[in-house]
Amino acid sequence: MERGSIVRKILIANRGEIALRIIKTCREMGIETVAVYSDADKDLPFAKEATFAFNIGEPPVNKSYLKTDTILEIAKREKVDGIHPGYGFLSENASFARAVKNAGITFIGPDPETIEMMGDKIVSRKTMMEAGVPVVPGSGEGTSTLEEACKLADLMGYPVMLKASGGGGGIGMVRCENEQALAKSFDSTKTRAKAYFGSDEVFVEKYIQNARHVEIQVFGDNHGNIVHLFERDCSIQRRHQKVVEESPSPFLSEQTKQKMYETALTAAAAVQYKNAGTIEFIVDEEENFYFLEMNTRLQVEHPVTEQITGLDLVKWQLLAASGEKLPLSQNDIKQQGHSIEFRLYAEDPKTFLPSPGKLSMFEWVASPGVRVDYGYVSGTTVSPFYDPMVAKCIIHGETRLEAIEKAVQFFDELNLEGIKTNAPLFKEILKDEDFRKGNYSTAFLTEKAFAVK
Amino acid sequence: MREITSSMAGTVLNIMVEAGQEVTAGQEVLMLESMKMEIPVESEASGKVAEVKVNVGDFVNEGDILIVFE
């Protein structure tokens, strides 16, 4: 089958909450699902809820979820029409997307060329600059020597961020206050980049003080239509990884938002974007915004957008992959109310160190406006092999204040035992005056006393 | 102390010491990656490294020996 054929049976090359979330939409659409799981995940809901499920190996990711040949073999044997990569794992792996396509199966995502281009931070910066999209002042080229990095850092002024070109997910970046710090981190960042992303190319970028991290959800089809689905403010982070996301942003003016939507559409059009994608921007205190990167997949935090628009983004992905036009035009896409997502992690709420183990109890009170996308249920084990996310708790209210109050009640009533989680951190955040006023930047958790690092 | 063992399963991201090197208590000797987090491994005591049992990129389980002291 070629790209654009109707999808009736798909393989989900992922695990946990996102695999389960995809299964739910497929079920509503009458699409059969094939789950693949590692030894560690055999008891998880996604492996049980899929129409078909196959064990693909041992727990470490390179022996299971990254085994492209095994996954493709199963896809062919089971005669699926499409493969949904979820997020992480193979979702932004251009050669996997290409192999799927070459096997005659629809890759539920953008074209392999787009993934390739946006996956390289240096190439994506250049592409965006050429399209007239503002980017963070930076080297624009990879730097191979410390001397070169120092020279560039001097030009843009400290502090700077030293980043791995092939990096992502908050790993492989270091903030450097001065030349000594840059010198100290240079070699280790290169080593880490090599070990983690297979390339030791790094670059320096201006560090923007008191920045906010705001992203725009975009969506494209095979007919050249591209729309945006508003913003998500993802500034509450620990170790450069998102913890809380919300929409609308409590900080941006209407005028800036409109400008960001337009810029995101320009950016997406510059790469003829198809399917779900996200343009991430850094916003400074004066509401100047700069392109950071484009994520060529469904985001972890996509439910925030679904709750304010009433749309099912996985359904849109499946329709777009089937060659259909986007269900709505820009003017028909409305936002309503306010939604906040909390990423419930198996980790120490103060040190943020992982806390895997058996989740002996996990129950919450269901009520209007409360959505929980979970990967684990009571009695299952959070293994140390994958990310620490137990569930995403998405709370919707008519106003931001209402969403906050509902969230307070949700975490008060949450019954979770067996492992440490960051639920106590959310209670602190929800009480915090600055958070309640919407007055926060990416430094929020570092500056607050209720978190250690 | 004769050895340093891993406190959790993860991938070895970086090794900061080599055989023959003197380390002090509290010194970071190794960086693990587990559950998408970088986890520094510190030496609990001072001593001289006899052997580093792992390589960058290796997957280690909880309790595996990482570094042996003389």
Residues of chain B above pLDDT 90, percent: 57
Q: Which of A192, A239, A388 sits opposite B14 (nearest CB)?
A: A192
Which one of B35, B54, B61 makes the best mutation probe of the A interface by having the most chain A beta carbons within 10 Å?
B35
Q: How far is A417 from chain B (nearest CA, A)?
A: 20
Could you tell me which chain B residue has the CA closest to the CA of A88? B36
- pLDDT at residue A168, rounded to an integer: 67
**Token digits for A161?**
């961020």
> Which one, of A278, A287, A424, lies nearest residue A342 by Cα?
A424
Residue A63 is encoded by which pair of tokens? 């022996």
Catalytic residue flag (residue A297): yes
Burial class (CB in 10 A: 0-12, 13-18, 19+), A230: buried
Write out the two tokens for A198.
Answer: 């297979």
Side chain identity, residue A242? K
Tokens representing A96 are: 């996997």
Beta carbons of A367 and A408 less than 8 angstroms apart: no
- Chain-chain contact of A196 with B13 (C-beta, under 8 angstroms): yes
A–B CB contacts, 8 A cutoff, strictly below = 49
The catalytic position among A125, A297, A343, A400 is A297
Torsion, Cα A390 A396 A402 A405, to 10 degrees, reads: -10
Instruction: Please give the helix or strand (H or E) that residue A416 lies within, else none.
Output: strand A415-417
Cβ atoms of A291 and A279 within 8 Å: the answer is: yes
DSSP state letter for A27: H
Contacts with A169 from chain B: Cβ below 8 Å = 36
Selection from A398, A407, A215 nearest residue A296 by Cα: A215
Specify the pLDDT at position A169: 62
Q: Does the beta-carbon distance from B8 to A384 stay under 8 Å?
A: yes
Q: Which pLDDT value is given to residue A240? A: 82
pLDDT at A200: 86
- Contact between chains at A353 and B37 (C-beta distance less than 8 A): yes
Could B8 and A169 be called an inter-chain contact, meaning their C-beta atoms sit closer than 8 Å? no
- State whether B37 and A191 contact (CB < 8 Å): no
CB A333 within 8 A of CB A373: no
A351 touches B: beta carbon within 8 Å: no
Q: Is the dihedral of CA A143, A147, A149, A155 positive or negative?
A: negative
Question: Closest partner residue to B57 among A195, A353, A388, by Cβ?
Answer: A195
How many helices (DSSP H) and strands (DSSP E) are in chain A?
Answer: 15, 20
Q: Cβ contacts (< 8 Å) between B9 and chain A: which residues?
A: 384-385
Give A124-127's long-range contacts (Cβ < 8 A, gap of 24+): A124/A293, A124/A294, A125/A291, A127/A270, A127/A271
- Pick the closest to residue A75 from A36, A21, A25 (CA basis): A36
- For residue A65, which residues of chain B lie inside 8 Å, CB to CB? none
Residue in chain A nearest B31 by alpha carbon: A192
Helix (H, G, I), strand (E, B) or coil at A233: strand
C-beta atoms surrounding A433 within 10 Å: 7
For domain B3-69, give the fold.
Answer: OB fold (Dihydrolipoamide Acetyltransferase, E2P) (2.40.50)
Whether A280 and A211 have beta carbons less than 8 Å apart is answered as no
User: What is the sign of the dihedral through the CA atoms of A45, A51, A57 and A63?
Assistant: negative
A452 CB within 8 Å of a chain B CB = no
Q: What's the rounded Cα separation, in Å, for the pair A20 and A18?
A: 5
User: Which pTM was predicted?
Assistant: 0.91
Q: Which of A192, A383, A420, A452 to mutate to test the interface with B (most CBs of B within 10 A)?
A: A192
- Compute φ and ψ for A342, nearest 5 degrees: -115, 125
Q: Please name the residue ranges forming H helices in A326-418.
A: 400-413
Phi, psi of B20 (to 5 degrees): 95, -10
Residue A393: predicted pLDDT: 98
Closest CB from A195, A353, A387 relative to B36: A387
What is the ipTM metric for this complex?
A: 0.73
Whether residue B14 lies within 8 A of chain A, CB to CB, comes out as yes
Alpha carbon A398 to chain centroid, angstroms:
25
> Which amino acid type is present at position A424?
P
> Per residue in A133-169, is it b (16+ CB within 10 Å) or e — as a string?
bebbebbeebbeeeeebbebbeebeebbbbbbbbbbb
| CA pair distance A193, A199, nearest whole angstrom | 6
Name residues 376-415 of chain A within 8 A of B (Cβ). Answer: 384-388
Residues A410 and A332: beta-carbon distance below 8 Å: no
Q: Are residues B10 and A387, on separate chains, in Cβ contact within 8 Å?
A: no
Q: Please answer yes or no on whether B39 and A353 come within 8 Å at the CB atom.
A: yes
Domains and CATH numbers, chain A: 9-108 (3.40.50.20), 137-206 (3.30.1490.20), 212-447 (3.30.470.20)
Structure tokens at B1: 């102390």
* pLDDT of amino acid A396: 98
Mean pLDDT by 10 residues, chain A (453 residues): 72 98 98 98 98 96 95 98 97 97 97 95 91 86 86 90 78 88 89 79 88 97 97 93 96 97 98 97 95 96 98 98 97 98 94 90 97 98 94 98 98 97 96 96 88 56
Q: In 3D, which of A282, A289, A168, A301 has the Cα closest to residue A229?
A: A301
Q: For residue A386, list chain B residues with Cβ-Cβ distance below 8 A.
A: 35
Q: Domain residue spans in chain B?
A: 3-69
Q: What is the pLDDT of residues B41-59, one digit of tens each?
A: 999 889 999 999 999 888 8
User: What is the reported pLDDT for A452?
Assistant: 58
In angstroms, rounded to a whole number, what is the distance separating the alpha carbons of residues A442 and A438?
Answer: 12
Distances (CA, A) of B40 to A155, A180, A227, A243, B32: 33, 21, 43, 21, 6
